[in-house]
Amino acid sequence: EFVLYHDQYVRKEDAAIDMEDRGYNFGDGIYEVVFVYSGKSFAMNEHFERFISSAAKLEMQLPFDAPRFVELTEGLIEKNSLRDGMVYVQMTRGASPRNHLYERDMKCLVTGFTREMKPPEQLHQDGIRVYLTDDIRWLRCDIKSLNLLGNTMAKRQAADHNCQEAILHRDGTCTEGSSSNLYIVKDSVLQTHPANNLILNGITRQAILKIAHEKGIEVKEEPFTVKDLAAADEVFISSTTMEVTPVIQAAGQLDAEYQIGSITRSLQNGLKKKIYGSEFI
């Protein structure tokens, strides 16, 4: 098994990280996760456009341009003969004597690995339970940064309550999931939080909104409340791994049950069509 280390493919056991890498000490870095279906990556360019935008927001120096990042990542998929699974690429600000203050001209370190996995088709079909809790994260959730404690703590809480995902609210306004975007449908209108500093603008989210427009589904990119969530006709989440996954029950700060609706199914099928091409039935 090979990993990406800067622009080289090395054996996993031969790759070493400096004890004072800022990613290790401060979580000073960014990442992307891209899914691979039958050896073909989905939305790779879009993922690296976002990666480059995250880097710019953190004043990180890019060692490669977007096409080179894509090339290196595709190369890793090929090197590991990955058929179905995910590829993870991250970039930290690199190593220097530990100091909160970062220099703008640091040599960033790019690393990546692949993992074999199948999309969770059963969950796509049957839906999941979600756990509603407070969004305790920082105010730059638009950056896909390595700092994920607010997300991981919420996910643990959800799992402890037999839920597959945590969904988050800030003072009663629903933002997103711990590793997904969140949507409601009310009276045939699809609603999701606007892409601002409070959420990550998912690549899957962007694809879903496009599909909704193509299908003539009315879309509101406006914040909605926990009350709106409680009264929704349909609820679903989206992410690279979860695609469109229906929500059938909410626990935690909300106790609700939902039917899997026609708009959720229609968007789910629309996304699968984009992923699998004309082969999808």
List of residues contacting ligand PLP (CB under 6 A): 151, 176, 179-181, 200, 202-205, 238-240
Cβ proximity to ligand PLP, 114 vs 151, nearer residue = 151
Residue nearest to ligand PLP (CB): 202
Cβ proximity to ligand PLP, 28 vs 176, nearer residue = 176
Cβ proximity to ligand PLP, 28 vs 243, nearer residue = 243
Least Cβ distance, residue 14 to ligand PLP (angstroms): 29
Question: Which of 184, 158, 162 is closest to 173 using CA atoms?
Answer: 184
Q: 95 vs 65, 118, 240, CA distance in Å?
A: 21, 35, 30
Spatial distance between the Cα atoms of 234 and 256, rounded to a whole number of angstroms:
11
Least Cβ distance, residue 21 to ligand PLP (angstroms): 22
Least Cβ distance, residue 35 to ligand PLP (angstroms): 8
Spatial distance between the Cα atoms of 121 and 114, rounded to a whole number of angstroms:
20
Query: Residue 223's CB: how many other CB atoms inside 10 A?
Result: 19
Least Cβ distance, residue 83 to ligand PLP (angstroms): 20
Least Cβ distance, residue 19 to ligand PLP (angstroms): 27
Cβ proximity to ligand PLP, 2 vs 238, nearer residue = 238
Cβ proximity to ligand PLP, 95 vs 198, nearer residue = 198
Least Cβ distance, residue 47 to ligand PLP (angstroms): 7
Of 118, 144, 155, 274, the catalytic one is 144
Six-digit token pair at 24?
């290790």
Spatial distance between the Cα atoms of 135 and 197, rounded to a whole number of angstroms:
13
Q: Are residues 115 and 88 in contact, defined by beta-carbon separation less than 8 angstroms? A: yes
215 carries an active-site annotation: no
Cβ proximity to ligand PLP, 244 vs 250, nearer residue = 244
Positions marked catalytic? 144
